[in-house]
Structure 1
Amino acid sequence: MNNLIKIILIFAILIIAASVLWANHQNQMYEDTFQSEYQYDVSIETLQSLHNVTLYLPLPSDGNESFLSEALKSENNLNKPIGWNCTITETKHGKMLQITAHEIDPEFHSTQVPIEEGQSEGPNRTINESTEYSEDTPVPYPEGFSIYQNADHELNTKNPLENETTFIPKYNIKKVTNQFPNEDNENVKTYQYESRLYAKYNTTPENTVDISMSFMGMNNWWIYGWSGNQYHEHLSITLEGSQDGWAPIEGEIVTGEGNYR
């Protein structure tokens, strides 16, 4: 009986030791691979040419400094379309991204060929591009840019509105029901708000322009597979005809998505 008890105790000790070693190993992998980063995207889609363009767009900011302050100093970090001039300017709604261009032309692409059943890849086909709609190029294609930047701290993705870089300006923030509720993740919260955008350009009365911006803050790590958590927000507006002034733009931010340790 005493021998059986000793054997059970030895097994228990071995299991506990193995569990501690495994937990330490996972913690070390977490610390070695952990990274936090931001992503900012701007997209403009027009069906006809825009002339003498000036835009003021909401910027990600922590309240003191713009997310783009450093990125704008290096053209290598800003893969903007040719002819776009991007700077940060002070406005009555705070610091915003100013985009100026003599002209922004539309871009249309040919349709993609769907992959047929049984094929691993679609047939080789050159994507045709044009600045005008045609039967060969019927698909409007947005122009824009993306910026990725590492963060210098672990992001508070559960409560970014009070603690992290998010779009400014924000007015009339209200919590709303999650569009895609997840019972397994009670951290997810959705907020809607109103921001501002300034647009000045000449175009035809029937032209429509879709402007959208998105921003995401992410924590990522690798423990036998990538995992992480994030918050993300999106702003979009459709403008018709020539513009010369400020316009309200609707935004939404989703917080607390992903996995937490």
Structure 2
Amino acid sequence: MNRRLRVVLVVVAVVILLAAGVLAAGVWQFTRPAPESYSHTAEYRASIQPDATLTNVTLYLPLPAENGTSSVGDALVAGSPGVVDAPANWSFEIAETEYGPMLAVSLPTLEPAYRERPPPRPIDPDGETATPGAATPTPDPQETPIRTLDDHLVRVELAFEEPIDTRSPVGSEPVLRPRFDATDAECPFPAPESTVCREFGTRMFLSYDAPADATVEVSVSYEARNDWFAGGWTGNSFRQSTRTNVTGDGPGWVAVPATEAVGEGTYRGAPSAVVDAGAVAVAR
């Protein structure tokens, strides 16, 4: 190999190394977490779905609370901008019960809610499809729409300045309460090793007058999460939910099963309060 060829090969090797270094630096820069993208949010949902008219309604529902306080409950009572969905005639209070603070909902009457959609169009027996650009047939006003039972929804979205401890939220973050006898359980869905699923008990108070054959479904859920951009949007979260179905008049206090999944998502590049399993979220 002559000297000139050796020089060319050395130059080419240096260029390749420099290019690889620049590329690696670019990839590292692109995939590192962007601190300005961090967000810490929570969503609370409560839904009530009766299939008949209820009267003299009083409900006590689980609330995410910690140290006896609930940001979600405060938002509903104050009617803050974080309240995304809430029926206009519903009254909200934080009730101090024998099980701790709960969301009190009171209203004189609760009618079933329905949603309607047009019936499906019949298929052309000749298998012909509409000509592109052709006018859409006007629906027959005499066609009976499909009517399905809907729910009454309460939804609150909150944003926090500090990271949320999504791995060990109990004792450091607001979680659904009342909360009794939590035990580890198998996750009912595919989950990474960081995810821990549990079952626990909670309580609801359901008081109303209803027909003997009326059924009412009540559900409550809460999810808190951290999100950020690191070569793409990612994040981690914990979530909890509970649901019950009752028939006839409101039975008063009922024990209701609940589930939770903590440690969902990724923790690479996560905010400092949730990097370690034993981390405690910064007090808010």
Q: What's the TM-score bracket when you normalise by the shorter of the two chains?
A: 0.7 to 0.9
2:261 maps to 254
Q: Which runs of 5+ in 1 are unaligned?
A: 127-134
- Which secondary structure state, in structure 2, belongs to the residue aligned with residue 161 of structure 1? coil
1:88 maps to 94
Counterpart code for 1:254:
A
Moved more, 49-58 or 147-156: 147-156
Q: Distance in 2 between matches of 1:12 and 1:159?
A: 45
CA contact (8 A) 2:238 2:264 kept: yes
Return the offset for 1:8: 4.2
CA contact (8 A) 1:83 1:102 kept: no
Moved more, 220-229 or 164-173: 220-229
Q: Distance in 2 between matches of 1:124 and 1:228?
A: 46
Report the CA distance shift for 1:44/1:36 in structure 2 as closer, same or farther (over 3 A).
same
Q: Distance in 2 between matches of 1:218 and 1:191?
A: 18
CA contact (8 A) 1:59 1:67 kept: no
2:77 is the alignment partner of 1:68: no
1:139 maps to 148
Return the offset for 1:138: 3.9
Counterpart code for 1:198:
F
Q: What does residue range 179-190 of structure 1 map to in structure 2 within 5 Å?
A: 179-182=188-191, 185-190=192-197
2:199 is the alignment partner of 1:199: no
2:43 maps to 39
Q: Distance in 2 between matches of 1:158 and 1:76?
A: 28
Counterpart code for 1:74:
G
Q: Distance in 1 between matches of 2:115 and 2:194?
A: 40
1:177 maps to 186
Counterpart code for 2:109:
E
Return the offset for 1:258: 2.0
- Which secondary structure state, in structure 2, belongs to the residue aligned with residue 186 of structure 1? coil
Corresponding residue pairs, total: 248
Return the offset for 1:82: 2.7
- Which secondary structure state, in structure 1, belongs to the residue aligned with residue 170 of structure 2? helix
1:214 equivalent among 215, 221, 226: 221
Counterpart code for 1:220:
D
Q: Distance in 1 between matches of 2:252 and 2:17?
A: 72
Counterpart code for 2:105:
I
Structure number with larger C-alpha Rg: 2
2:29 equivalent among 18, 24, 32: 24
Percent identity over the alignment is 22
Q: Distance in 1 between matches of 2:121 and 2:28?
A: 45
Q: Distance in 2 between matches of 1:63 and 1:110?
A: 44
* TM-score, length-scaled by structure 2: 0.76
Return the offset for 1:125: 7.3
CA contact (8 A) 2:119 2:145 kept: no
1:54 equivalent among 55, 58, 83: 58
CA RMSD, Structure 1 to Structure 2 (Å): 2.9
Q: Distance in 1 between matches of 2:214 and 2:56?
A: 15
Q: Distance in 1 between matches of 2:109 and 2:225?
A: 35
- Which secondary structure state, in structure 2, belongs to the residue aligned with residue 68 of structure 1? helix
1:229 maps to 236
Listed one character per residue, the Cα deviations across residues 78-135 of structure 1 (whole Å, up to 9, x for unaligned) are 331132101111110000000000111111233565699999xx99979xxxxxxxx7
Report the CA distance shift for 1:226/1:204 in structure 2 as closer, same or farther (over 3 A).
same
Counterpart code for 1:103:
T
Q: Distance in 2 between matches of 1:221 and 1:196?
A: 35
* TM-score, length-scaled by structure 1: 0.82
Return the offset for 1:180: 1.3
2:170 is the alignment partner of 1:164: no
